[in-house]
Amino acid sequence: MNGVTVSGNGTAAGAGGAKGALATGAEPGAAAARPNPEVPSKARRRRFTAEYKLRILREAERSTAPGGIGALLRREGLYSSHLTTWRAQQAASLEPRRRGRKPQANPLQARVAHLERENARLQRELEKAQIIIDVQKKLAALLGKDAPSGRSS
């Protein structure tokens, strides 16, 4: 096809790789500034520098017009989740960090917590059993039978 390819949206792109360079009649110098629209065979994770993140966050804060942040995100090829994550990172960097060794957990603390949970479970079971015994005593009194004494005659 003599060096001209057709992209997914139907526009022709020359050897320079600019999207729509031949279709719009753009100058070759302007086409070189645009990135290659071809999808690479293996996707690569983008890495953003701290300076870039700060610049984008400042631009987003300054944009007051409706749709201004959306235009910024489209222009830079970013998602709104980037802004959310970067704002959280910026807020976290302002918080003081604890220095020094991390406090060591007491090895018996897990055992104590387990025993407290078991104790609470057994207390609930005991309360249920006491309620059942009280109901049985009242039922026996209504029917006129003596409560079992535990001895067999």
Residue 153 in any domain: the answer is no
Whether 24 and 55 map to the same domain: the answer is no
The mean pLDDT of 64-78, rounded to a whole number, is: 92
Looking at residue 30, the DSSP 8-state letter turns out to be H
Domain of residue 89, residue span: 48-94
pLDDT tier at 75, thresholds 50, 70, 90: very high
Number of domains, the chain: 3
Q: Residue 13: is it exposed, middle or buried by C-beta count within 10 angstroms (0-12/13-18/19+)?
A: buried
**What phi, psi does 19 have (nearest 5°)?**
-70, 120
Q: Is residue 20 part of a domain?
A: yes
Cα gap 147→110, rounded to integer Å:
44
The pLDDT-based confidence of 104 (bands split at 50, 70, 90) is confident
pTM over 0.75: no
Residue 31 has pLDDT above 80, yes or no: no
Whether 45 has a pLDDT exceeding 70, the answer reads yes
Determine, yes or no, domain membership for 103: no
Are 32 and 55 members of one domain? no
User: Is 123 a member of any domain?
Assistant: yes
Q: Is 132 a member of any domain?
A: yes
Copy the structure tokens of residue 55. Answer: 């610049």
